Amino acid sequence: MSLVDNIRRRLHNWLIGQTEREARALRASGCTLGTGAALLPEAEIDNFMQDPTRICIGDNSFIRGRLLLYGHGGRISIGDWSYIGTRTEIWSMDSVSIGNRVLISHDVNIHDGTGHSIDAAERHAHFKHMITRGHPTQAADLPGVKSAPIIIEDDVWINFGVTILRGVRIGRGSVIAAGSLVTRDVPAGHLYRNHTQPVLTPLTASSEATL
């Protein structure tokens, strides 16, 4: 290898390293990290509230998934020695509290809000607001959107492909089986399986209870 090629290779590697460092710093600016905690290269932090104190990651916890706060509210707290797997998405407009020593596998979805209204006009107005003015920063701009806190207690294991919806509490030490849909509380120390069959019902105002 010539001297010029060697210099080019070193410069290329330095530029890649610098880009990765800047990307890590940008992600870390959207949250608070405890001692020994890490955002691994796959991790994404989307904090539309722009308040890093609202996403708190405890000591020695490792994040490989995506943590997102809506512009009008939300809070995510993760305890010590916990793990969030690749392609896992945790979206909060109310609050998601994850305890200590919690293992969350890959492809898990945790959402404490419905995201959109079941009313088509309200849903379109929300989408139009996001496209033209960005994420709404006031709950009043999100009619029909519902939210409720999610609490995942210490020592829980959530297997891959699980979906957890608003208002759920998972008790200490429980295990959620792969592919499960969690829409109600899980007591401490239980194995939870829920692979529901498709159900088709007319769309009414009461449908919001299942979103």
Mind telling me the catalytic residues? 116
Whether the Cβ atoms of residue 101 and residue 152 lie closer than 8 Å to each other: no
Q: Smallest Cα–Cα separation from 89: which of 40, 32, 46, 53?
A: 46
Distance CA 110, CA 10 (A): 42
8-state DSSP, 73: B
Q: Is 51 left (phi over 0), alpha (psi -120 to 50) or beta?
A: beta
Strand order in the sheet with 109-111: 44-47, 66-69, 89-92, 109-111, 163-164, 181-182
Whether the Cβ atoms of residue 157 and residue 101 lie closer than 8 Å to each other: no
Distance CA 85, CA 104 (A): 6
